[in-house]
Copies of this chain bind each other. A is one copy, B any other.
Amino acid sequence: MGQQERVVIVGGGFGGLFAARALKGADIDLTLIDRRNFHLFQPLAYQVATGALSPAEIASPLRAVFKRQRNTRVLLGEVVDFDLAQRQVLVEQLPNDETAAIPYDTLVVAGGSHYSYFGHEDWQPFAPELKSLEGALDIRSRVLRAFEAAEIEDDSEARTSWLTFVVVGAGPTGVEMAGQIAELARDTLRGDYRSIDTTSATVLLVEAADRVLPNFHPASSRKTARALEQLGVSLVLGRPVVGIDADSVTLGSADGGQEVIGARTVVWAAGVEASSLARTLAERAGSEVDQSGRVTVEGDLSLPGHPNVFAIGDMVRVRGGDGSVSALPGLAPVAMQQGRYVARLIRWRLRGRASPPFRYHDKGNLATIGRSKAIAEIGPARIAGFPAWALWLGVHVFYLIGFQNRLLVLLRWTISFVTHGRGARLISEDAASNGRVTTTD
């Protein structure tokens, strides 16, 4: 009997997790590598950012997920390079800071993406992104601190800028975030303060395109815009952000004019850039990445010239049967389907079978706007309002990993729905202390 096929999966997001889970019971030796010891249910990160949910409720420890999947080991580490010739992944092991070479027969890279600041990395300190758990907690602290600062601010102009919140990017995440901040100000926090009226807060949703949810049908965009305005969100469309600093956001316009808006709290949810692992992989394979940093893979998601190396999720573009290259939307369902596809392909290869190229089954688009409002597009059908929201809720609870998290999130949402409250409104120490050292008493 030969040695078991060694499969290494890099990344525990939707793509990597679904690939690994779909390999349960396969006669392989599987290693899943991630920098974090948990899978993050990223679509709900914005709810952590507004205090509706706790981090642990949208995160599942990877070791718990794979506890009973005996062919799988989890490795906590950061992948720093690939040696495609020697078939090794170089990993900086986080617990001891040592670099190890992990050999593979088959490699699956699912590094994901992050928000891009369009070359303005200097904006990042003033406008944290909403993709990681830490980003979400940072935003939570900033938003809550802004209300605290407004409460004690005597100068009316400064107070107004503390009560002005800007969300950059009107994709699903930006729409959800803006809606939640408006609800926080107009509903949850109403009456919490004594000097300020939180309902007077301004929430601006800024989008360079001329409509919200640019990837949805224009009719969905119109409905979403109306719902956002009802929630108290002001839309700023067709204007790019050209500057961000500690207390203002500068907007450009088509005629070259600029407008400076006093705002102390900015949330970044625009632009997408592939994980740097895509570039590393492309360099090692002698290919190139596109403008968004994505590596190109074949129809079966393998790296050109490396049939045993796969890349999946929103760090890749896929070559079609006609040779054209296109990127699928950067959505969780794409990553999940690609993860499952690669797992199936690996199983087939073990049995000596060939596999057809990957095909994406578009299940539709979903975005929620606020209490009991959402937009759903399923094929030609478009649903809005409460039915769409019920669908959104069902899908999100269904795909949350772990029974306990599903139950807790449902319970939190039920309580929030009834009480209009948000339970997790903690300002964390680092943010509250502004970086200063704090004592423990």
Contact = CB atoms under 8 A, between A and B. Distances in A.
Given A37-B426, A56-B426, A429-B133, A275 B441 contact: yes
A191 interface: yes
A86 interface: no
Interface string A126-154: 00010111110000000011101101110
A344 interface: no
Contact of A404 (B37, B415, B438): B415
Contact of A426 (B55, B191, B404, B411): B55
A112 B412 contact: no
Contact of A35 (B55, B68, B144, B438): B438
A192 B37 contact: no
Interface in A96-130: 96-97, 100, 111-115, 129
A356 to B, nearest CB: 31
Nearest to A192: B63
A72 to B, nearest CB: 8
A429 B78 CA distance: 13
A94 to B, nearest CB: 6
Contacts of A429: 36, 132-134
B113 A441 contact: yes
A64 interface: yes
Contacts of A63: 189, 192-193, 425
A405 B67 CA distance: 29
A192 B64 CA distance: 6
Interface in A256-284: 273-277
A352 B402 CA distance: 60
20 contacts: A37-B144, A37-B425, A55-B426, A59-B426, A63-B189, A63-B193, A63-B425, A64-B421, A93-B152, A94-B148, A94-B433, A95-B149, A95-B152, A96-B149, A97-B434, A100-B152, A112-B441, A114-B440, A115-B440, A134-B429
Given A38-B427, A54-B424, A56-B423, 9 more contacts: A37-B426, A64-B192, A67-B191, A94-B148, A94-B432, A95-B152, A132-B429, A134-B428, A274-B441
7 closest A-B pairs by beta carbon, nearest first, are A95-B149, A56-B424, A63-B192, A275-B441, A54-B54, A114-B441, A95-B148
